[in-house]
Structure 1
Amino acid sequence: MQQPATTVLGSYIARETFSDLPPDVIEIANDCLLDSLGCLLGGYCLPIAGVLDGFLGDVGSRGDVPIVGSNRTTDPGTAAFVQACLINALDFDDIYRKGHPGATVVATALSVAAHVNSCGTDILEAMVVGYEVGGRVAMSLSHTHPRKTVHGHGTWQVFGAAAAASKLLKLDARQSGHALAIAAANAPIASVMKTVYGTEPSMAKNNFGAAAQTGVNAAFLAKNGFEGPLDIFEGETGFWRMAGADACDLERLTAGLGRVYEIREVGFKPYSCCRILQSSIQASLKAFATAGVDPKDHAHERLVITAPPIVCEAPFNNPAPADIWAAQFSAPYAVAMALLGIEPGPGWFSEEQIRGDAAARLMARIELRPDMGKPDPNSHHVARAQLSLRDGRIFHAEVKIALGEAANPLPRSFLEAKFVNLAGSRIGKERALTLLRSIANIGTAPTVEPLLGETVLESFEVAGCA
């Protein structure tokens, strides 16, 4: 009789070791840690930081886990919830074939590692396992139609959290399998069609906080003997149906474990907005650079961006976003911010920028056109820009694979500069540079302290950046 997928995955979680990981996989895991920590600390510049601090005060949770960038401590599950929300707050966090796995995996790894005082290799090992299991669940969910009515990344990212937590808690194969089963039975619903693709994108976004907390709690429950339905992926009533998919590819879910690593498909964003907008931004910048004109001089009549049809639909076609959350998913706004040369990150989402005349003037000259051609399997969200100048000249640019995708990676130097900019907004540049060195050397760290020591503030300023 074939083993349930949870049992196969549980065995993988228990047996994976740092010494068996290929060097490039370890390097990417380190990049993922760097990027997610930077996004987490940068998230304190948004109003959501004050909301989460109020939440921590109200729930009265107590524990030994420090919240990165704060002076508060709480229990592992609540810490994972808060940190996952902050990592995703700027929409600057890592990208995969689907979703933003770092928000749940790294938030969990930091929380549980602090609780059990893990060493650096344990953290990296758990992250690889988290990306692996979560990614495989994501890619095993089959959909007849690409734009689903039931859609949600947090729904499957719960497994990355459960896997990472199980590894750090050193659960055996059986316990790890049950942790996945428990996480599946309690996964957040697929809500993105309301929280992001609705008429007004909201702070709830991808529901990564609930996914991280659920995954952490599932591992602790399994550690103490709680059990879940190990066959939850199989059959007509499997998890795939709960998640709104049409089927589950069990072969994709379990084949090649320990040989084919999903973390190799992770990329990092150069701009703080939805992943599908990155190529449109880059094509627009390329067109202006080719023309040799400054967008701020308004020497152009029109910028026409031809992009996948989804970019030309709500909420991505919003020409006048009213708040931070709408701005993160607005193609015209994201392009305008990049053309104005505003540093990606918190600066994109200030009231001054969102309501300013400079962005509005540029957005008024942007036209989005859907690309109705057959998608190129070798490209990602291909975008073309046509720039028409007032003097009649026309310039074209195309981006097939955006810089930052796994197939077109950013250099480590870019990721480090991004990290120092984001982390420095919360803890200052000098401490950010110290933390950067700690992350680079985390593989030799005996405890998680080097990652957390530089981020603990003497006082938590709910208004935003220190």
Structure 2
Amino acid sequence: MNKLSGLQFLLVASRQEPPKVDRPSPSSGNRTPDMTAFITQTLGSYIAEEALARAPSDVVAKAKLCLLDSLGCLFGGHQLPIAGMLGALRADSQRVPSPAMAAFARATLINALDFDDIYEKGHPGATVIAAALSVAEYKLCAGTEFLEAVIIGYEVSCRVGISLTHVRPRKAIHGHGTWQIFGAAAAAAKLMGLDAMRAAHAIAIAAANAPVASVMKTVYGDTPSMAKNNFGMAAQMGVNAARLAAVGYEGPLDVFEGETGFWRMAGADECRFDRLTNGLGAAYEILRVGFKPFSCCRLIQSSVQACSDVVRMAGIDPADAKHARLIVTVPPIVCAPPFSEARPRHMWAAQFSAPHAIAMAVFGVEPGPDWFVDDWLNDEIAGRFQDSIELRPHPNHGLPHGTHAASACLQLRNGQSFERHVDIAEGDASNPMRKSALESKFLRLASRVAGEGGASEVIDNVYALDEAESVRPLLRLLTG
């Protein structure tokens, strides 16, 4: 038998027939359901058994759009100074390229503009797509295999995320990267061909090594920073978890169950085990993923849309100072820092600043890297417009569809006023962005890096993945 190199040994896993595992019965609250298998084993069986041929056509189509959106954000991230830092880190870290380090860089860049996909919580694409791309570089796989990994990554990641529940109105411990590690681990495990038990251990290892839930400091603290959601570390450790499982490393298979389960590690008050496993492989969470039209936090998308619309309705040039003030009624959280801060000092704060995002939209700046250049961050006219914005808490914050709703009232100096309300922002899964708009977003972000021809070729490759014998042509376009 030929001996495998160290890297090959880590990336090639057993393809033996997965063991039959009974699925946990639905449950709710903190009660662990009666089961003959741990939740990690249920997820492991799903990872090993899921196939693109079983996925509905709308799920496959949505997976392609999720991939396209994340790739656009990746191209956009490459236009930022942080791309140089990450390139130097990869060059210095080791002479042999590492799929885990590649996943770290890609996940960080996909999320860098805060322009990446949205879900009930988090940005699952950053970690899933980054891990899938990075493992695919080291393993010959067909387009169908790649799409399988993407779908599986979204399902596992999203289900863990929505299983974590909170009874308090505002969490003290919060971090999407903490649970998005599972999407990276699941996608990597599928591409590496792990059987059900090894995939279960990959999930268990990922849980034991998930990044700290640090968003209350890295985003909501006094100094928002490039650490942000910690998606880079989540993607890196997710890939490493699959590689470790492939060589026999084991994790605690009961990591989700009981009072000391992963939900406690992630800072949740309860765990809804039914949301984690019920309908797995039949009801697809990826269909509830949305895409952003503006490069800022999801919480302020409706605010930006309402303000952009109301300024257009008034027909004024925001630079002419013909308005007296712009009153924006928003979710209460947006009335507090970092969301309420005008004139942010750098891009990491600007992504969460409602006044800055509103100003960029009404001044007609294309969403993406241009929102965060020094010229606009330091522009005095845009700064004065931000100073004229008054944020007020929404009185109907508890309405079913009003969580992120916003209203804008533009008052002109001549006494006229114009109003606009946005309940659900465009791009949310319940108010989806048009496919043509998503393609336009991608082309704006990618063309500066890949050229117009290269960007169009990426779109063609993404849409044809389910017929592609290899993902190499797509990867060459990305790395070229």
Structure 2 residue 406 is the aligned partner of structure 1 residue 372: no
Structure 2 residue 73 is the aligned partner of structure 1 residue 50: no
Structure 2 residue 89 is the aligned partner of structure 1 residue 34: no
Structure 2 residue 316 is the aligned partner of structure 1 residue 293: yes
Instruction: Tell whether the 8 Å contact from 1:380 to 1:402 is kept in structure 2 after alignment.
Output: no
Deviation digits for residues 64-115 of structure 1, max 9, x if unmatched? Answer: xxxxxxxxxx211111011000100111100000000000000011011121
Give, as a single letter, the amino acid of the residue that structure 1 aligns with 2:371: W
Which residue in the other structure is 1:234 paired with? 257
Which residue in the other structure is 1:418 paired with? 441
Which residue in the other structure is 2:17 paired with? none
Which residue in the other structure is 2:406 paired with? 383
Q: Distance in 1 between matches of 2:477 and 2:57?
A: 27
Instruction: Tell whether the 8 Å contact from 2:331 to 2:404 is kept in structure 1 after alignment.
Output: yes
Q: In the superposition, relative to structure 1, how do residues 61 and 4 fare at CA in structure 2: closer, same or farther (>3 Å)?
A: farther
Q: Distance in 2 between matches of 1:308 and 1:409?
A: 21
Deviates more, 1:180-189 or 1:4-13: 4-13
Q: CA deviation at 1:374?
A: 4.2
Q: Distance in 2 between matches of 1:116 and 1:453?
A: 14
Give, as a single letter, the amino acid of the residue that structure 2 aligns with 1:325: W
Q: Distance in 1 between matches of 2:450 and 2:78?
A: 10
Instruction: Tell whether the 8 Å contact from 1:283 to 1:384 is kept in structure 2 after alignment.
Output: yes
Deviation digits for residues 404-442 of structure 1, max 9, x if unmatched? Answer: 000000111111111111111212222111112111211
Note the residue ranges of structure 1 that are not aligned, 5 or more in a row: 63-73, 458-466
Deviation digits for residues 32-52 of structure 1, max 9, x if unmatched? Answer: 100001100110111101111
Question: What SS is found at the alignment partner of 1:387?
Answer: strand
Give, as a single letter, the amino acid of the residue that structure 1 aligns with 2:193: K
Question: What SS is found at the alignment partner of 1:78?
Answer: helix
Q: CA deviation at 1:380?
A: 4.2
Q: Distance in 2 between matches of 1:25 and 1:409?
A: 15
Note the residue ranges of structure 2 that are not aligned, 5 or more in a row: 1-33
Q: Distance in 2 between matches of 1:48 and 1:324?
A: 11
Give, as a single letter, the amino acid of the residue that structure 2 aligns with 1:388: Q
Question: What SS is found at the alignment partner of 2:436?
Answer: helix
Q: Distance in 2 between matches of 1:358 and 1:27?
A: 43
TM-score (norm 1): 0.94
Q: CA deviation at 1:171?
A: 0.9
Deviation digits for residues 337-368 of structure 1, max 9, x if unmatched? Answer: 00000000011110001011231021011111
Question: What SS is found at the alignment partner of 1:305?
Answer: strand
Give, as a single letter, the amino acid of the residue that structure 1 aligns with 2:271: C
Question: What SS is found at the alignment partner of 2:211?
Answer: coil
How many residue pairs get aligned? The number is 446
Which residue in the other structure is 1:160 paired with? 183
Alignment of 1:286-435 (within 5 A): 286-435=309-458
Q: CA deviation at 1:147?
A: 1.9
Instruction: Tell whether the 8 Å contact from 1:401 to 1:408 is kept in structure 2 after alignment.
Output: yes
Q: Distance in 1 between matches of 2:431 and 2:290?
A: 8
TM-score (norm 2): 0.91
Q: Distance in 1 between matches of 2:143 and 2:169?
A: 39
Deviates more, 1:337-346 or 1:165-174: 165-174
Instruction: Tell whether the 8 Å contact from 2:323 to 2:411 is kept in structure 1 after alignment.
Output: yes
Instruction: Tell whether the 8 Å contact from 2:396 to 2:402 is kept in structure 1 after alignment.
Output: no
Instruction: Tell whether the 8 Å contact from 2:302 to 2:424 is kept in structure 1 after alignment.
Output: yes
Which among 115, 120, 125 is matched to residue 102 of structure 1?
A: 125
Runs of 4+ in 1 over 4 A off after TM superposition: none
Question: What SS is found at the alignment partner of 2:326?
Answer: strand
Structure 2 residue 463 is the aligned partner of structure 1 residue 440: yes
Q: Distance in 2 between matches of 1:23 and 1:455?
A: 26
Which residue in the other structure is 1:17 paired with? 51
Which residue in the other structure is 1:70 paired with? none
Alignment of 1:107-118 (within 5 A): 107-118=130-141
Structure 2 residue 204 is the aligned partner of structure 1 residue 170: no
Give, as a single letter, the amino acid of the residue that structure 2 aligns with 1:23: S
Question: What SS is found at the alignment partner of 2:355?
Answer: helix
Q: Distance in 1 between matches of 2:208 and 2:387?
A: 47
Q: CA deviation at 1:299?
A: 1.6
Question: What SS is found at the alignment partner of 1:116?
Answer: coil
Q: Distance in 2 between matches of 1:380 and 1:169?
A: 40
Question: What SS is found at the alignment partner of 1:272?
Answer: coil
Deviates more, 1:90-99 or 1:141-150: 141-150
Instruction: Tell whether the 8 Å contact from 1:270 to 1:404 is kept in structure 2 after alignment.
Output: yes
Q: Distance in 2 between matches of 1:379 and 1:385?
A: 15
Instruction: Tell whether the 8 Å contact from 1:35 to 1:415 is kept in structure 2 after alignment.
Output: yes
Instruction: Tell whether the 8 Å contact from 1:312 to 1:369 is kept in structure 2 after alignment.
Output: yes
Q: CA deviation at 1:57?
A: 2.2
Which residue in the other structure is 2:234 paired with? 211
Question: What SS is found at the alignment partner of 1:306?
Answer: strand
Question: What SS is found at the alignment partner of 2:421?
Answer: strand
Q: Distance in 1 between matches of 2:459 and 2:77?
A: 17
Q: Distance in 2 between matches of 1:375 and 1:149?
A: 20
Deviation digits for residues 261-318 of structure 1, max 9, x if unmatched? Answer: 1101100000111111100001111212222323233221100101001111110011
CA RMSD of aligned residues (A): 1.1
Q: In the superposition, relative to structure 1, how do residues 413 and 323 fare at CA in structure 2: closer, same or farther (>3 Å)?
A: same
Give, as a single letter, the amino acid of the residue that structure 2 aligns with 1:22: P
Q: Distance in 2 between matches of 1:357 and 1:293?
A: 18
Give, as a single letter, the amino acid of the residue that structure 2 aligns with 1:59: S
Deviation digits for residues 193-226 of structure 1, max 9, x if unmatched? Answer: 1110001110000000000011111111111111
Q: Distance in 2 between matches of 1:24 and 1:138?
A: 22
Which among 279, 284, 301 is matched to residue 307 of structure 2?
A: 284
